[in-house]
Each structure stands twice: as C-alpha cells, then as structure tokens.
Chain A
Amino acid sequence: MKLRTRLALPLLNRIELRRGTRTALNTIEFTALVGLGALLAGFLGALTGLGGGVVIVPLLTLVFHVDIHYAIGAALVSVIATSSGAAAAYVSEGYSNVRVGMFLEIATTVGALVGAALVLRLHVSIISIIFGVVLLYSAYASITQHAHSGADGGPDRIATWLKMDSTYPTENGLEGYHVRGVPQGFGLMFVAGVLSGLLGIGSGAVKVLAMDKAMKLPFKVSTTTSNFMIGVTAAAGAGVYLARGYIDPGLAMPVMLGVLAGSLIGARILERAKVKVLRMVFSGVIAVLGVEMIYNALK
C-alpha cells in the first residue's frame, strides 16, 4: 500500500508539472498512470465499500485534465465491471432480494436514460457541481453509516402484492422480513438512476438509502441488492454513452482494467483488514475532491 502511494505521487506530480507546457505524455506513460490511479481507486473503493467509480471522474478531470464526458464514459464502464464481478460472488449467498432488485430496476433504468440524456443538455459546470455535492454526501453517508436494525414494520399492501417479503441468512438461521415504503423507494431509485446516468457512478449510497431507510430492508440485504442493481443501472447509461461517443477505448481500457484488478485485490484482503481508519481517510479524500470539483466549476 505504502509503496504504491509512494510510487504514484511523484508520477502524478509530474503530470501536474507538465500542465500548461507543450510536452505531452506519450500514450504508454499516460495509460500506465491512469491504470495505476484506477487500480488504487478500485482497491480503496472495495476495501471501504465506497466503490471505486466515484473517485475516477475527479481523478481524470482534476489530475489528468480529461474532458468530463470522456471521464464519465470510462468511469461508468468500470462500475459495470466491479458490480458484475462482486455480484457473481455474492449472488448465491442468499442475501440479495431479486424481486425487490428487479422491480426497482424499472426506476433506475428509466432514471439512467434520463440522466444520460441530461448530460447533453446541462453545462459542464452544473454537472461538476452536482458531482461535488454527491461526493460530499457519499463521504458524509459513509462516516455516519451504522448497521440499522429497525423493528419490522409488518406487512405492507403493495409489497405483499409484489411478493417482496423474503428471508435472509443470520446467525440464528433464516430470518424473515417485511418490505415497506415501495413508492418512496421507487422514487429514490429513480433519483439514483438519474445520478448514475448523469455522473457515470454506481450511486450505491442512494440505492442503500432507498432500501435501508425507506423500504426497511435489513442492512446486509440492502447492500447486496444494491450491488446486484448497480450493473444493470450502469448498463442502461453506458448504452447511451456508447452511442453518443463518450466511451473512448484508449481511456476506458486502463480505467476498466485498473479498477477491476484493484477491486478484486481489495475484496480479497477485505476480511483481514481493519477498514475503519481507512474508511475515514478515504471519505476525507472524497470530500476534498467534492470541494475541488465545486471550486473548479465556480472558478
């Protein structure tokens, strides 16, 4: 870890030094640096549960001075890779609620299509400001996050009709739970979809908020179902990005491979790592990036 940071920082400084000068990095240097940054982002994202996608866009725009359209294209693609990779591992453990996920995906995919359409119509500085606010919220949500264990609210008419109530594995065997607040959850999921399509992120924080707070799902069910949904939401936005020409292969290649490799390594050592301090640090980094995105947009 330490070694990687020590390696990455001088290299990143070098790009900063080159800013404004006419000498450009060659393609191999650029690819290696972006790949290294993405690897670190994916690694920290998996380790802290914040996801790597959220720091890719600030990294590409603030450090590498990439246009935000290319940046969100590359970031969204990497979101699909990590979500599908993680979902493959979790899907058979019986936590995620497939019916809840599938029903809410109607809201997130429609939202993602709306968000992707908005990218064209909104000014870059507006997008950057929204991005900054979302980063600040993610940082806030992750440090105040605690396993919620609200009392089961009993059956709900809509959720019963949609057969959403289910069970999940606990220490005492399978435990049943009731789903509530379907309309509120659906509305929040639409917002999550819009943010995903607009900013090229997974918006896991908003998805968990919708399921944990509005729909009263057990926390572990919320996080795994959110992960299950992120790939589908991102695919809806990515289809539009591809058709619009936002996905550049030369840029998306190191980002996708870096984030994927980083998140796989992060997930592997997650069980042995003490992530509390790391999560605080990473949240701090995300908050700083959020402020910087807003500051740059207003400048």
Chain B
Amino acid sequence: MGKAEQRMDEIMGRLLRTGVILAAVFVLAGGGVYLARHRTPVTNYRVFQGEPEELRKVSGIFHEALALRGRGLIQLGLLILIATPIARVAFSVVAFLYQRDWTYVVVTLIVLGLLVYSLLGGHG
C-alpha cells in the first residue's frame, strides 16, 4: 500500500469515527430532551401510522432540531448517521480522482448518485 493510499485510509477512518460519534451525541441529547418532556404512556407502535412530514424531510428535520425539540434532535443525529457512509463514498470519489483511476471514479459516482437519490426521498 502506497503512502498516499495509507493516508487516505487514515482520513477515511477518522471521517467514519467522527460521523458516528457526532450522530450518537445528537441522538443522546435529543433522547434526554424527549424523555424529560414525554412523560405520557408510550407511543403506540403496534399500528403503523408513519412519521409526521416534518420528521421525514431533511429540511423539516433541521427545522425541528433548531427548535430544540427532542424528536427533531434525535432525527438529526440519525440523519448524520445515514450521511456518514455517503460522505465516505464522496471521499472515495476524490481518492480515485487523485489516483487518476477513471473507471473507479465513474463506479463511485454511480454509487454516490444512488445514495443521494435515496436520501432526497427516492420514490423507487
């Protein structure tokens, strides 16, 4: 493994770790707020109703989290978690560009495109 490649791997490892830690911090903080305010009997999970609109869309989640609502903060943490592997793929595009490996630049861009499509509400 070349020096440049090793350095890329190190950055990638750090990226993943940071993403997971950041996500856990938001989920934990949101969980605290949620439990402190939510004293009522547990939500009924037996029947599927689906989440409200503001907890499904990226823009809505940011709005709810900025208002410091517990569920919004948790959802923001989960969004960061979902974005972490996507950031890793985006970083791989750069890494393959750097190695001038055009085949894999294309391969990685396809994967990135599919992930972004999914996160922006893929209707597949």
Contact = CB atoms under 8 A, between A and B. Distances in A.
Interface of A: 24-31, 64-70, 77, 80-81, 83-85, 87-89, 91-92, 94, 98-99, 102-103, 105-106, 109-110, 112-114, 116-117, 162-163, 231-232, 234-240, 242-254, 256-257, 260
Given A92-B6, A247-B75, A252-B78, A113 B13 contact: no
Q: Is the interface of B mostly helix, strand, loop or mixed?
A: helix
A69 B44 CA distance: 13
Contact of A239 (B27, B111, B122): B122
Interface residues on B, range: 35 or more
B46 interface: yes
A249 B103 CA distance: 39
Interface of B: 1, 6, 9-10, 12-14, 16-17, 19-20, 23-24, 27-28, 30-31, 34-35, 38-43, 45-48, 50-52, 55-57, 70-72, 74-75, 78-79, 81-86, 88-89, 92, 101, 103-104, 107-108, 110-111, 114-115, 117-122, 124
B56 A117 contact: no
Contacts of A80: 81-82, 84-85
Contacts of B9: 91-92, 94
Given A84-B16, A92-B10, A240 B75 contact: no
Contacts of B107: 102-103, 106
Given A237-B118, A239-B122, 9 more contacts: A27-B38, A27-B39, A69-B50, A85-B20, A88-B20, A112-B118, A116-B118, A242-B79, A252-B74
Given A66-B46, A249-B55, A235 B82 contact: yes
Given A235-B86, A245-B51, A248-B43, A102 B34 contact: no
A13 B34 CA distance: 26
